[in-house]
């Protein structure tokens, strides 16, 4: 793990996250499931953005430090998340984002016939707030999801996912539409109780200021309802 340039104050780290790295330009966390990345119309306070902003301001709400979300994770997806400390740094991330390597872990229902492969489709939002694949390219955004089966149990499979594009709900939709919904994903076809079994495992990128190669690997989550795959 790359050593943080700013000392991480573990005693003051907000609940729902672990701070992996901090310097003058970026801060990287491991977000827990159930915590929003940024505010929504219905939730303004209990978000990774808000909690982390208060942390970097050392509790002084009048401090001028402002964070910018480089990317987002769904509320129920855990894992690595990056915030920039200036608009300039976020824009530099945007310029290189197609080269950023992002890996996920997903536990899905059933066994995949092909043990590795790529799902591709054009994704679009529906009126029911669900994302779906559409046939007409002009109606959606192109998405590619690469997967590899790591382990199998009697009725489930643990996958490593390479997120080749970063569209809304992409992994969840592609796995569901290919008849292997993520365990715990009630929105996209799972009837299993418990947390969504999706975790942003690692990220690799070039630091937007120093150009240093950066790699962060989070701890694999304890999916308590999938012990047959562990």
The model's pTM: 0.92
Tell me whether residue 74 is one of the annotated catalytic residues. Answer: yes
What is the model's pLDDT at position 226?
A: 53
Q: Is residue 230 part of a domain?
A: no
Beta strands 141-152 and 26-31 are unpaired
Q: Is residue 4 part of a domain?
A: no
What is the model's pLDDT at position 229?
A: 57
Residue 60 has pLDDT above 80, yes or no: no
Q: What is the 3-state secondary structure (H, E, C) of 80-108?
A: EEEEECCHHHHHHHHHHHHHCEEEEEEEE
> Is 110:156 a contact under the CB 8 Å cutoff?
yes
Residue 65 has pLDDT above 90, yes or no: no
Q: Is residue 121 part of a domain?
A: yes
Q: Annotated catalytic residue: which of 74, 127, 139, 185? A: 74
> Is 66:188 a contact under the CB 8 Å cutoff?
no
DSSP state, 175? H
Report which of residues 129 and 211 the model is more confident about.
211
How far apart are alpha carbons 230 and 228 in whole angstroms?
A: 6
Q: Is residue 2 part of a domain?
A: no
The count of domains in the chain is: 1
Q: Is residue 35 part of a domain?
A: yes
Residue 122 has pLDDT above 90, yes or no: yes
pLDDT band at 58 (very low <50, low <70, confident <90, very high): confident
Q: Is 167 helix (H, G, I), strand (E, B) or coil?
A: coil
Q: Is residue 127 part of a domain?
A: yes
CA angle 143, 183, 140 (to 5 degrees): 20
Q: Which of 6-15, 34-43, 90-99, 204-213 has the lowest mean pLDDT?
A: 34-43
Q: Which domain holds residue 104?
A: 10-224
Tally the C-alpha atoms within 13 A of residue 222's C-alpha that lie toward its C-beta. 1
What is the model's pLDDT at position 225?
A: 55
What is the model's pLDDT at position 193?
A: 85
DSSP state, 58? T
Q: In the chain, where does DSSP find H-type helix?
A: 48-56, 87-96, 170-177
What percent of the chain has a predicted confidence (pLDDT) above 90? Answer: 81
Q: What is the average pLDDT across 7-12?
A: 92
Residue 36 CA: distances (Å) to CA of 7, 55, 126: 25, 16, 22
Q: Is residue 165 part of a domain?
A: yes
pLDDT band at 45 (very low <50, low <70, confident <90, very high): confident
Residue 64 has pLDDT above 70, yes or no: yes
How far apart are alpha carbons 208 and 56 in whole angstroms?
A: 19
Which residue in the block uniquely carries the two structure tokens 């382990």?
Answer: 151
Specify the CATH number for the domain of residue 52: 3.30.2350.10
Q: Is residue 132 part of a domain?
A: yes
Residue 62 has pLDDT above 80, yes or no: no
How far apart are alpha carbons 220 and 195 in whole angstroms?
A: 14
Mean pLDDT score across all residues of the chain: 92
């Amino acid at each position: 793990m790359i050593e943080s340039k700013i000392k991480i104050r573990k005693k003051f780290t907000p609940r729902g996250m672990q701070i992996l790295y901090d310097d003058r330009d970026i801060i990287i966390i491991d977000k827990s499931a159930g915590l929003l990345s940024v505010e929504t119309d219905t939730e303004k306070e209990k978000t990774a953005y808000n909690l982390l902003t208060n942390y970097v301001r050392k509790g002084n709400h009048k401090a001028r430090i402002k964070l910018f979300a480089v990317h987002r994770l769904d509320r129920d997806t855990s894992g690595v998340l990056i915030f920039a400390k200036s608009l300039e740094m976020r824009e530099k991330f945007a310029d290189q984002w197609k080269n950023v390597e992002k890996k996920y872990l997903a536990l899905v229902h059933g066994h995949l016939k092909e043990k590795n492969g790529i799902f591709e489709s054009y994704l679009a939002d529906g009126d029911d707030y669900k994302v779906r694949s559409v046939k007409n390219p002009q109606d959606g955004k192109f998405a590619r999801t690469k997967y590899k089966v790591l382990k199998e149990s009697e009725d489930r499979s643990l996958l490593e996912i390479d997120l080749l594009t970063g569209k809304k709900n992409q992994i969840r939709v592609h796995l569901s539409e290919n008849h292997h919904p993520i365990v715990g994903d009630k929105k996209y076809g799972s009837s299993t109780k418990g947390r969504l079994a999706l975790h942003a495992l690692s990220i690799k990128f070039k630091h937007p200021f120093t150009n240093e190669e950066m790699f962060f690997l989070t701890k694999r989550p304890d999916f308590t309802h999938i012990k047959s795959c562990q």
